[in-house]
Structure 1
Amino acid sequence: MDRLTEMEAFAMVVDQGGFTDAAKKMGISKSAVSKHVSSLEARLGARLLNRTTRRVSPTEIGLAYYDRARRVLNDAGEADALVTAMQSAPSGTLRVSVATDFGVNHVSPILGTFLHQYPDVTVNMVLNNRYVELISEGFDMAIRVGELEDSSLRARKICETQRRMIAAPSYFERYGRPEKIDDLNEHKLLHYTNSANGNVWKITAPSGEQRQVRTGGWLTVNDGQSLLNAAIGGLGIAYLPSFLYADPMREGLVEDVIPDLPVDIQGVYAIYPPGRYTQPKVRSFIDFLVDAFKDRGPLNW
């Protein structure tokens, strides 16, 4: 006989306190339940149940076996539920945190396509520039740019971007062009207040050495698009990802400040809580993003 069915019959007898109620619960005959339990006891070579005319109770061995059997049955039930859930159509509210600059410029324009593909999903997108606590703050996932903090969260790379120092031709005409990292100390650097590194830029020198440059100038702001606008306006040098500056650079509105420096490649990631399976609404949105951005970056924006 099927081993799992034998275990289920035995566990049900213990749960219900008898063969009659166990048979009703399982939707089979009382004799079938008895046959499954007898087969199990014969295979194990042990008596698992004390049978009297009035009640049925597990023996000491039977009680120990019941604990293990119930875990196996619960795991089997979860496995069945997992398959069902993974095959079900995405639905429900998807609450997602997105880095403001990336969300405004690149996620918002494609949301309509996703919602038309999955009409049973409702998206609640929160734009912010801080690392939200996904589980405690009730988010299903987040989209983050740059180096990831150590955590137990799962991550999938969506695409890549690159950070460069950029400034307008008008800025160079007025203040000159720095030729090396040390020259930046004499220039007006536009500061991003929400940087994880504070008001310090981490820049790789041609030698591969990591250099730190303290920033601060005419403008301090917590929005990358505003920094880009300031750079285009000739107010200073900004250190920004290519998904912001790619178009203005192609149009000649900004230029690479020190072209000889190594390129700083950064990943754009979908972050989501760990678990035995990923909810269909989360999985479908991540798959959608990976496909939507498969031909983007690091410079192709």
Structure 2
Amino acid sequence: MDRLTEMEAFAMVVDQGGFTDAAKKMGISKSAVSKHVSSLEARLGARLLNRTTRRVSPTEIGLAYYDRARRVLNDAGEADALVSSMQSDPSGLLRISVATDFGVNHLSPVLGEFLADFPDITVNMVLNNRYVELISEGFDMAIRIGDLEDSSLRARKLTETSMRMIASPSYFQRYGRPQKIDDLNEHKLLHYSNHSAGNVWKITAPSGEKRQVRTAGWLTVNDGQSLLNAAVSGLGIAYLPSFLYAEALEKGLVEDAIPDLPMETQGIYAVYPPGRFTQPKVRAFIDFLVHSFGDKGPSDW
């Protein structure tokens, strides 16, 4: 007899507390269930069930075997479901975490196209500027910028963004333009309060040396768009990604503070929980993002 069927019959008898209810649950006759269990006991050379006229209960060995058998049966069921889902169209609720700046400026504008392509998917996009725990907080995926801190997650690179220090022409007219990194100590800097390193800018000097600029900011805020607005209005120098400042730079609203410095780049990634199987809805959205942002970055935004 089929080993998995024997295992299923035995587990069902334990779950239902008897052969009659197990037979009804499996849609087969009571005698068939009994034959499956007897065949299993014979093959294992052990009695798995205590049978009386009133009740059926697992023996000590039977209880230990049941725990393992139930895991095998659950895995088999999940394997069947996996194959079915991989062949089905992407569907269901897709919960995404993304930084506010990127979500508002670049993800929101393309969501309509994605939802039109996949009408069976609904999206719950959560905009925040904190690091979220994907699994414990119930997210299917997140979009993260910069170094990936959690190596246990799977990641796919979408594109890149460059990082530059920018300020308005009016600021440079009033306070002068820094010529080198050390000159920043004499300027009014605009800081991002949610940065993991605090009020520290990591900058590469023309020599290739990695430098850290640590000065008190004239303004500190937890939103990149607000920092860009402050820079445009002449309040100081901001260190921002190109996906925020590119349009303002093209319009002449801001200028590069120290143009001779090497360009800093950061990756933009889709991250999702580990495992060999990627849910169709997640795979579909990541493929869509790769296509949508394929012509972007690091400075072309």
Task: Kindly report which structure 2 residues correspond to 1:101-180, keeping only aligned pairs within 5 A, or say none.
Answer: 101-134=101-134, 139-150=139-150, 153-180=153-180
Runs of 4+ in 1 over 6 A off after TM superposition: none
Compare 106-115 and 127-136 and name the one that shifted more.
Answer: 127-136
Q: Is the 8 A contact 1:96 1:140 kept in 2?
A: yes
Instruction: Tell me whether 1:70 sits opposite 2:70 in the alignment.
Output: yes
Deviation at 1:110, TM superposition (A): 0.7
Gaps of 5+ in 2: none
TM-score normalised by the chain length of structure 1? 0.82
**Corresponding residue number in structure 1 for 2:213:** 213
Letter in 2 for 1:73: L
TM-score normalised by the chain length of structure 2? 0.82
SS at match of 2:98: strand
Q: Is the 8 A contact 1:228 1:244 kept in 2?
A: yes
SS at match of 2:286: helix
Letter in 1 for 2:199: N
Note the aligned Cα RMSD (angstroms).
3.2
Deviation at 1:190, TM superposition (A): 2.4
How many matched pairs? 301
Q: Matched residues in 1 for 2:114 and 2:235: separation?
A: 38
Change in CA separation of 1:176 and 1:116 when aligned onto 2, cut-off 3 Å: same
**Corresponding residue number in structure 1 for 2:6:** 6
**Corresponding residue number in structure 2 for 1:249:** 249
Residue deviations 1:193-248 (CA, integer Å, cap 9, x gap) = 33222222121223443322134555443332333344344443221101122233
Identity of aligned pairs, percent?
84
Q: Is the 8 A contact 2:192 2:222 kept in 1?
A: yes
Deviation at 1:295, TM superposition (A): 2.4
SS at match of 1:195: coil
Change in CA separation of 1:179 and 1:10 when aligned onto 2, cut-off 3 Å: same
Compare 155-164 and 139-148 and name the one that shifted more.
Answer: 139-148
Q: Matched residues in 2 for 1:62 and 1:40: separation?
A: 11
**Corresponding residue number in structure 1 for 2:80:** 80
Q: Is the 8 A contact 2:199 2:217 kept in 1?
A: no
**Corresponding residue number in structure 1 for 2:288:** 288
Q: Matched residues in 2 for 1:46 and 1:177: separation?
A: 86
Deviation at 1:107, TM superposition (A): 0.9
Gaps of 5+ in 1: none
Q: Matched residues in 2 for 1:242 and 1:72: separation?
A: 51
**Corresponding residue number in structure 2 for 1:181:** 181
Deviation at 1:278, TM superposition (A): 5.0
SS at match of 1:62: helix
Q: Is the 8 A contact 2:156 2:271 kept in 1?
A: yes
Letter in 2 for 1:212: Q
Deviation at 1:263, TM superposition (A): 2.7
Q: Matched residues in 1 for 2:276 and 2:209: separation?
A: 41
Q: Matched residues in 2 for 1:160 and 1:174: separation?
A: 33
**Corresponding residue number in structure 2 for 1:193:** 193
Residue deviations 1:106-130 (CA, integer Å, cap 9, x gap) = 1111111112122233333333323
Compare 95-104 and 121-130 and name the one that shifted more.
Answer: 121-130
Change in CA separation of 1:202 and 1:39 when aligned onto 2, cut-off 3 Å: same
Q: Matched residues in 2 for 1:47 and 1:199: separation?
A: 69
Q: Matched residues in 2 for 1:43 and 1:93: separation?
A: 45
Compare 11-20 and 156-165 and name the one that shifted more.
Answer: 11-20
Change in CA separation of 1:95 and 1:18 when aligned onto 2, cut-off 3 Å: closer
